[in-house]
Chains A and B, each alone.
Chain A
Amino acid sequence: MKKFVFKILLFVLISLSIYVPIAVWVLPDIITIIQGPSTLQQIEKSFQNAAEREYELVILGNSGSYRGLNPEKFELTSYNFSHDNDTYNQIYHKLKWLEKKDKKIKYLILSVDYFQFSYLASNRNYAYNLYFNKSYKNDYMNIPLVQFTGQYNLLEPNRLKYLRDVKQERTKEIYLKENGQYVYPGQANESDTYEYDINRLPLQEEYFKEVLAHCKNKNIEVFLCMPPCRKNALENYSSKEMNEFNEFINSNTSVTVHYLNYAHQKGWKLADFTDITHLNERAADLFSKQVSDSIVAIIKE
């Protein structure tokens, strides 16, 4: 029995001693080449650039703005500090982090989506934990600690299968721009569906208001921006629900807080989207120009 257990452990040890160095030092780079930057790499790069670059306008929000707004198309010097799935608690901590880095921001584009208040995003805590202060964890008292322990998923053995794609020709680039925008290729289908929840968590409403209060305090002009939505996505909500949501957003506007709602804007086609929610690179550039023009017009008023 001892001999058997010893041999099994030895096998596991040998496997790990071969696999761990590969998984930690070799695989990430190879997977980045094949799959584009990992979530951790995206976040690291995003924070690094947010600290190093100079800009007067910062974009914060979820994937709608992360993929849908190209700062190079803005007249103001801009940086996209959004990330997939970001919720308002994370956006608030990002603002506090920027403050700590002594960034002088004049304008903020804050994305709003019908579903963005409905959940508390937690799946990237292992990365955000490296940047945010201790109070960030207070909102995650019921979340397993492992989510805060760093790069635990680096050792996931199934990552080996990515190596199978090394020789495949990469026809579509997946990349993170220096300006913060993340470009992800794809083509939407007519039949795309997804279940969205329009209900607002009190915690997210609170953070949303905290963000606005912080901006008011720091004299940052805010542009609440809802990107164009596909009909399939809007089918998740009733007119009454959407009206109520927009009333809530409007109730938070002021002289320095403006609401730019493009959700129901006509003219966007299936070919402009990569999936149920996100604009493709070309459409994102068009949309960015449109948002920029609106912002400039408001500022000049």
Chain B
Amino acid sequence: MFFNSLDFAIFLPLVFAGYWLLGSKRVKIQNMLLLVASYVFYAWWDWRFLVLIFASTSIDYFVGLALKWEGDKIKRKLLLFVSIAANIGMLGFFKYFNFFVDNFTSAFSFFGASIEADSLDIILPVGISFYTFQTLSYTVDVYKRKFTPTSNFIDFSAFVSFFPQLVAGPIERAKDLLPQFSKSRVFNFHQARDGMRQILWGLFMKVVIADNCGVIVNEIFSNSQELSGSTLLLGTFLFSFQIYGDFAGYSNIAIGTSRLFGFNLKQNFSFPYFSSSIAEFWSKWHMSLTGWFKEYLYIPLGGNRGGLLKTLRNVGIVFLVSGFWHGAKWTFIVWGAINALLFIPSLYGVKRLKDDSKSGLIEIIKRPIRILLTFSLITLSWVFFRADSINQAALIFGEIFSTTSLTLPTILPKTVLLLIVVFAVIEWVGKGKSHALEGIGRLETPIRWMCYLLIFATLFFFSNSTQTFIYFQF
């Protein structure tokens, strides 16, 4: 069930009505309703996936409880291992099995030895990368005694499968979200109203920006061999808005929907394209995943505590794993590596920037240039993220850095470019808030309502063929 579908437009009001009418002030009924709704929501794709989510939930619930009572260090480690092996095992099988089989056979062939191994016809369960990371963080936190595990299976199941953020995040930490399930939730008008605004803006980002960019991006990338550098550059530029509109749009809808039910989820994007360095960008892009890697990978590896070389190694590992998390393809790994290379000097740049922060006027001039440079570098790195293969990415780069980039693009989507300008202006005005429409409440009521109607109308006026959310495949 997609957020931008008629199914969801019917599903959400029904769940909302049931939740507040039947479950008002009765937290058990509320959680039970959310659990049923979440399983229905997930089963809408394929009911067989429910087995996986139920298995992941059950394993981590019982491991959590066992960790609570177990004092023996070795047994605790064993329990942690069971949880990690089960979750990573499932993720590994469904997401990476064919990747490893294909690459092993290629590697053996390269060295002259021929082995036969068949790829399997595996369907990737929607959102598996997100909920396995969420449940893993629970077990690790319980293991480290940072969090007391819950003994309520319904609460825990509802936490793992909470439908607004189930399939594409934000990846919530148990210590932030799970306690919200055990507290009584009372309807809050201001929270719900802002949730609706965030949903509206999320839909705009997805339906108007991402989907319209997507149509042109698909056309450009599927004909990349025949197009000029300038056209490919345009396609890459549009993809940077497609991926942002798609994923940040999804996050806004997820967070807004959660707020309708009295939950507060983490901010996942904080206007990342207005960042003035790569380091700043990564502190504002997919914040829940970045935070997860920082807490559960970067810091356990030693973080920046072991000198320059160890810091470089740790940053490199985090970005490579992050790339691989996105998909079982070499393009994602290269994308991760490029971002690691861009990130390290930027990290030093940020330190220097903090020292220069009193430079006043010069800084005002420098900042837009830095924003533009950061955006350009990030945009170019997206080529690997979007390309079907390393070869295609190399071809695209070859063309972008050739004289054909000095010609006019063969495709010039004026309407889409105009929409992007309008979108960027609204985002710029709203930056600093949790979402672009948060500040709209300060406007006079008639003007505010006109804005709502205008955005609502554009959803239909500019809607294109419905495209799935890109991050669902991760």
The interface of chain A, by Cβ under 8 A from chain B, is 1, 3-4, 7-8, 11, 14-15, 18, 157-158, 160-161, 163-164
Contacts and interface: CB of A to CB of B under 8 A. Distances in A.
Interface string B437-473: 0000000000001001100110011111000000000
Contacts of B415: 164
Nearest to B20: A1
A160 B189 contact: no
Given A4-B189, A4-B192, A164 B462 contact: yes
A281 B456 CA distance: 41
A18 B192 CA distance: 25
A253 to B, nearest CB: 47
A4 B457 contact: no
Given A1-B24, A1-B189, A8-B196, 9 more contacts: A4-B187, A4-B189, A11-B449, A14-B449, A15-B453, A18-B453, A158-B460, A164-B461, A164-B462
Contacts of B463: 158, 161
B453 A163 contact: no
Contact of B460 (A1, A3, A14, A161): A161
B461 A163 contact: yes
Contact of A15 (B187, B193, B456): B456
Which of A1, A3, A15, A161: most chain B CB closer than 10 A? A1
A159 B457 CA distance: 11
25 contacts: A1-B20, A1-B189, A3-B189, A4-B187, A4-B189, A4-B192, A4-B193, A7-B193, A11-B449, A11-B452, A14-B449, A14-B453, A15-B453, A15-B456, A157-B460, A158-B460, A160-B461, A161-B460, A161-B461, A161-B462, A161-B463, A161-B464, A163-B461, A164-B461, A164-B462
Interface in B178-230: 187, 189, 192-193, 196
Interface centre among A1, A4, A14, A161, by most chain B C-beta atoms within 10 angstroms, is: A4
Interface string B359-391: 000000000000000000000000000000000
Nearest to A164: B461
Interface string B22-43: 0010000000000000000000
Contacts of A160: 457, 460-461
A164 B192 CA distance: 33
Contacts of A3: 189
Contacts of B452: 11
Contacts of A157: 460
A272 B187 CA distance: 65
Nearest to B415: A164
Contacts of B196: 8
A158 B9 CA distance: 15
Contacts of A163: 461
Q: Which 10 A-B pairs have the closest CB atoms?
A: A160-B460, A157-B460, A1-B187, A160-B461, A4-B192, A4-B189, A3-B189, A161-B463, A1-B20, A161-B461
A188 B24 CA distance: 60
Nearest to B17: A5
A164 B453 CA distance: 18
Nearest to A10: B449
Contacts of A161: 460-464
A11 B453 CA distance: 8
Nearest to B456: A15
A11 B452 CA distance: 9
Contacts of A158: 460, 463
B244 to A, nearest CB: 23
Interface in B153-190: 187, 189
Contacts of A18: 453
A157 B452 CA distance: 16
Nearest to A157: B460
A11 B193 CA distance: 12
Contacts of B462: 161, 164
B282 to A, nearest CB: 37
Contacts of B464: 161
A27 to B, nearest CB: 11
B196 to A, nearest CB: 7
A164 B187 CA distance: 40
Nearest to B464: A161
A18 B453 CA distance: 10
B192 to A, nearest CB: 5
Contacts of B461: 160-161, 163-164
A11 B449 CA distance: 8
A4 B457 CA distance: 21
A12 to B, nearest CB: 10
Contacts of A8: 196
Contacts of B453: 11, 14-15, 18
A14 B452 CA distance: 11
Nearest to B186: A1
A14 B451 CA distance: 13
A53 B449 CA distance: 52
Contacts of A1: 20, 24, 187, 189
A181 B442 CA distance: 58
Contacts of B187: 1, 4
A7 B445 CA distance: 12
A107 B271 CA distance: 71
Nearest to B195: A4
A158 B24 CA distance: 36
Nearest to A11: B452
A7 to B, nearest CB: 7
Contacts of B189: 1, 3-4
A151 to B, nearest CB: 18
B20 to A, nearest CB: 6
Nearest to B187: A1
B403 to A, nearest CB: 33
Contacts of A14: 449, 453
A7 B462 CA distance: 25
B415 to A, nearest CB: 7
Nearest to A3: B189
B15 to A, nearest CB: 14
Nearest to A162: B461
B14 to A, nearest CB: 14
Interface in B373-422: 415
Interface string B268-294: 000000000000000000000000000
B375 to A, nearest CB: 28
A157 B203 CA distance: 15
A86 to B, nearest CB: 29
B198 to A, nearest CB: 14
A181 B446 CA distance: 50
A158 B461 CA distance: 7
A14 to B, nearest CB: 7
Contacts of B456: 15
Interface string B74-112: 000000000000000000000000000000000000000
A163 B461 CA distance: 7
Contacts of B192: 4
